[in-house]
Amino acid sequence: MSVSGDQMELREEEIVAHYDAAVAMLEGFDHTPRIAAASARPVAERSSGIGTRRRFRSTTPGLVARSTARPEGVRLLERIEGSDGGDALVSPVQATVMQGLRRTISIALAVGEAFSDATGLRELKKENLEGRLSQARSAEFSELLSAEALAVLYTFANGTAFLLAASASEVTVEIGGVEEVLTDNAQLALHGALWELDQDLERFADSEPKMVATCLAYAEMLMEKVALRAQTAPRLEPYRGATYRVEADDFTIQGFAPARAVRGSTLVMQFKQPHQVVGNHIAKYQAMKLSKMLMAYDFERRLNPFAELGGFIFTFMGDGAPGTGKTTLIQMMTGLVHGYCQNAGFPFRYQNFGIDNIDSYQGKSGQNAKAFVQNVLDPNVIGFGTIDDIDQIAGKRGDRQSSAGQQEVTAVFMESFAGANTVVRGNCAFGMFSNYPENVDDALRQRAGARFLVDGPQTRDDYIDILHLLMGRNHDIPLGDHDLYAAQEIKRAVAASFEGHGRPREEGLLTVWDRVARDVGPLDTIAKMGVYLKAIQMVDQRFTGRSIKNITDAVKVRAMDFELPDEWMEEPDLFLFKSYDDKRDMIAELRQPITIDMVIQEINRYADSEFRYADKSDEVAIENMVRDFGRTEEAKRRYLERKA
């Protein structure tokens, strides 16, 4: 094993050395389940005279071996061969799955050996085999065997998901839970995993697409189960803290973090240009800045200078009435990042989490949400994830009308966006959008570090611009006395929008502002601004320390109140291909000092949004109560009429 930087390369010869053992497992072994129950599904009988084995065996190199399995044993190669209804020849998909399983078993065994060498387990195994293991070290030996089993199991599941991802189709399979997770030793752990995979293939793999989908679903479920078990298991630091690299497969193993194939998503979307987003000046400006911020990510350092210097927008919420341009804003930002990535040759992944990801199967909605977050967080790509209509997708905690699936999604997003294990690398951003943000759980809404008010066209010029834009070109109606799209000039419009937040806009917040101004005068010191913040908290108990953090993060964004030059995106050598330190220094030179006006404007912007949400939420609750009272009165009236 060679070591490079903080990575340890698993040499090809170390992996190939385990091919025979891997093939033996795939050919056949006996396993009596200890935790899970065997499938009760009967095996279809064949007509008299027809053998149970294929006439032709696989000729894939490395997969032909003499079977020593007894008839009742686990024979995965035959199970995979049977996924196409009995064709005598092995198909390319079947061969890919067979090769993938052999490869990932071998990688897992190689990682197990590396773990044994790093922890002294190899010597303990030798002492135990020779009967020399002392009683004092028996507990250590048992714990290390269990740790090795978990490391091997996770590597096997991780590798299976990684290597078979390219063979996935649109077909999905619900396999339920994973039960046969054994940790006595690495070999028994693999036997249990392969036995359960064989059981799932027997139940679900009646076609090749379902065979691949079953393998992938099982791998994902096994990763989750093993990672959960590893949270409390001892002696796993040598595996958790190591990074193993399999160069031939472009596969990196980093503890209990899933590896993802470096593939961008294929986008089927109608992109919009910035001038096609009419109004929404601050939201548009922030989205354009964020699009370029993402491109500063350094793939070697796996960090973005903006995340280090401050001012990176990891999560944001865009809210506004229906028809004000939220979808157009998504199309604009996705198009910008997609274009920048294409020009630089960076992989880009866009994913949307919609209402169709809420599943009636218990736990599946949470799994879908985790998969969505992990796909976007993948440090090997530039990612952008959107959650449209989040008020319908993520339920309020304690809301009886929210389904179990919605509650699962809320818990996953809260932990992912600002949990103890959240790491902001600066390679991706998440946008939450809603027509009714007051219906979003308060704590989840506060996970949004930035607020984009998507209020649509506002001025006379805005309405002329949007009319001209949507009319298209199939007419000869004159434009008239109007400077087309001049009102959408971003710098001028944004400056006016920010200045508009020098005073609050919401009536409730304006009352607080006036009272504090009378008591302390102009807010020209940190102490006076702190008094203002406390006064807001006295009125709205939801205005907590997290709110202050979101405000200060927004202020840091304002300190980065510049757009990276377009030529830096168009000519990657000028910026995108430079080293991390060079990019950080270039960005630092563009920073602006933080001013009092910036802080006051961001306090008012954030507080205005919270007051707006609270007012809407209260008004909706009052309207619902009025409607309920009306129904009650009408029911009483009808009841008395019938009784009379």
pLDDT digits (tens, 9 = 90+) for 228-249: 999 899 999 999 988 898 988 8
List pLDDT tens digits, range 73-131. 899 999 998 887 767 788 889 999 999 999 999 999 999 999 999 999 999 999 999 99
Q: Show which of 188, 223, 254 is a domain's final residue.
A: 254
How does strand 428-434 pair with strand 382-387?
parallel
Write out the H or E segment, with its range, that includes residue 278. Answer: none
Clarify whether residues 92 and 155 are in a common domain: yes
d(CA 296, CA 427): 8
Q: Identify the domain containing residue 218 by its residue range.
A: 11-42+53-254
pLDDT at 300: 87
Q: Are residues 233 and 317 in the same domain?
A: no
Q: Which residue has the higher pLDDT, 282 or 300?
A: 300
Question: Could you tell me if 241 and 278 lie in one domain?
Answer: no
pLDDT at 519 over 80: yes
Query: Is residue 626 in a domain?
Result: no
Please work out, in degrees rounded to the nearest 5, the angle formed at the alpha carbon of residue 57 by the alpha carbons of 52 and 62: 135
Nearest in space to 392 (alpha carbons), one of 401, 379, 383: 401
90 & 148 share domain: yes
Are 389 and 245 in a shared domain?
A: no
Instruction: For residue 385, tell me if it sits in a domain.
Output: yes
Q: What is the pTM of this model?
A: 0.58
> Mean pLDDT in the chain?
84
Instruction: Identify whether residues 197 and 294 lie together within a single domain.
Output: no
Does residue 49 surpass a pLDDT of 60? no
C-alpha–C-alpha distance, residues 22 and 10, integer Å: 17
Does one domain contain both 221 and 320?
no
pLDDT above 50 (res 65) = no
**Residue 26, pLDDT above cutoff 50:** yes
Higher pLDDT, 438 or 308: 308
For the stretch 31-40, pLDDT in tens is 989 887 776 4
Domain contains 453: yes
Q: Are residues 249 and 280 in the same domain?
A: no
Same domain, 611 and 500: yes
Per 3-state DSSP, what percentage of the chain is helix, strand, and coil (rounded to 5)? 55, 5, 35
Q: CB within 8 A of 232, min separation 6: which ones?
A: none
| In a domain? residue 261 | no
Rounded Cα distance, 21 and 276, in Å: 60
630 found inside a domain: no
Structural domain includes residue 84? yes
CATH no. for residue 283?
3.40.50.300
**469 within a domain of the structure (yes/no):** yes
Residue 2: predicted pLDDT:
55
Q: Determine the average pLDDT of the residues in 571-597.
A: 90
Number of domains the chain is built from: 2
Task: Assess whether 250 and 278 both reside in one domain.
Answer: no
Report d(CA 404, CA 415) in Å as an integer: 17
In a domain, 183, yes or no: yes
Q: How far apart are CA 283 and CA 437, in angstroms?
A: 16
- Does 630 have pLDDT greater than 80? yes
C-alpha torsion sign, points 256, 257, 263, 269: positive
Per-residue pLDDT tens for 327-350? 888 899 999 999 999 999 999 999
493/465 same-domain check: yes
Three-class secondary structure of residue 218 per DSSP: helix
- Helix (H) or strand (E) run with residue 430 in it: strand 428-434
Residues 334 and 439 in one domain: yes
Q: How far is CA 67 from CA 73, 74, 202, in A?
A: 11, 11, 20
